[in-house]
């Protein structure tokens, strides 16, 4: 494994660190391999474990939805490549699902340590981490789950759709978007940063087809 030397774990808004990793599909350089594209890197505690198996099957079965969003999938654990290969074969033989995305073999845990996927109190296995990285190689979302709870694929897809909607329309999205109990699939305008802009927004609400409850709380429908 090769990676840039820095002790700080990358966080939201940081560029994903430059890593050269061994995977079930061969050597991959991150984030360069997905330059100009979104990718989701997710770690799992170990091959041949029940929860992890259900997660990999779920990711693969929803892979068309990720692909429609322009998102690549890549897994990771501290298992060896040979273990990944045998596990993939088992999944195909027993569950009739072919895992098509690469899995990083982080033997020794260097990558997992760099990305904060190893927690001493959780043992030597990686926790269930998720990194969502945008086409510029910037980390846009981080999630972590304990070993005993599998991830919700719907939430990962929803979050990516929300990020892409925010980027494309320069808006924010409310809780549970696009199915908010009070505002449905409406999106939120960013609050004004000065008095003049706040006053102008209220004055132009009808003209711009905004629904403003106050100067700092304005909604709109997406076209």
Q: Which of 52, 91, 171, 189 is labelled catalytic?
A: 52
CA–CA separation, 97 and 56 (whole Å): 9
Counting every residue written for the chain, the total comes to 223
Backbone angles phi, psi at 117, to 5 degrees: -95, -5
β-pairing, 19-23 vs 71-77, is unpaired
- The answer to whether 218 is a known catalytic residue is no
CB 30 within 8 A of CB 15: no
> Could you give the angle at which helices 81-95 and 50-61 cross, rounded to 10 degrees?
70
CB 110 within 8 A of CB 76: no
| Two structure tokens written together for 161 | 């759709």
| Catalytic positions | 52
């Amino acid at each position: 494994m090769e990676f840039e030397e820095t002790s700080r774990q990358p966080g939201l808004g940081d560029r994903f660190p430059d890593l050269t990793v061994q995977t079930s599909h061969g050597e991959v350089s991150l984030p360069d391999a997905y330059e100009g594209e979104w990718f989701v890197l997710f770690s799992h505690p170990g091959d041949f474990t029940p929860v992890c198996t259900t997660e990999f099957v779920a990711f693969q079965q929803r892979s068309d939805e990720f692909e429609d969003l322009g998102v690549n999938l890549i897994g990771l654990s501290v298992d060896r490549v040979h273990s990944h290969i045998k596990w993939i074969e088992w999944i195909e033989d027993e569950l009739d699902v072919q895992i098509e995305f690469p899995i990083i073999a982080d033997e020794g845990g260097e990558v997992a340590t760099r990305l904060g996927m190893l927690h001493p109190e959780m043992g030597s296995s990686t926790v269930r981490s998720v990194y969502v990285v945008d086409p510029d190689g910037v980390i846009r979302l981080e999630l972590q789950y304990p070993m005993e709870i599998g991830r919700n694929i719907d939430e990962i897809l929803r979050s990516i759709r929300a990020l892409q909607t925010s980027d494309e329309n320069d808006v924010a999205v409310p809780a549970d978007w696009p199915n908010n109990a009070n505002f449905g699939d409406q999106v939120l305008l960013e609050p004004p940063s000065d008095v003049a802009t706040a006053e102008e927004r209220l004055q132009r609400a009808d003209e711009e087809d905004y629904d403003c409850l106050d100067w700092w709380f304005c909604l709109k429908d997406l076209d």
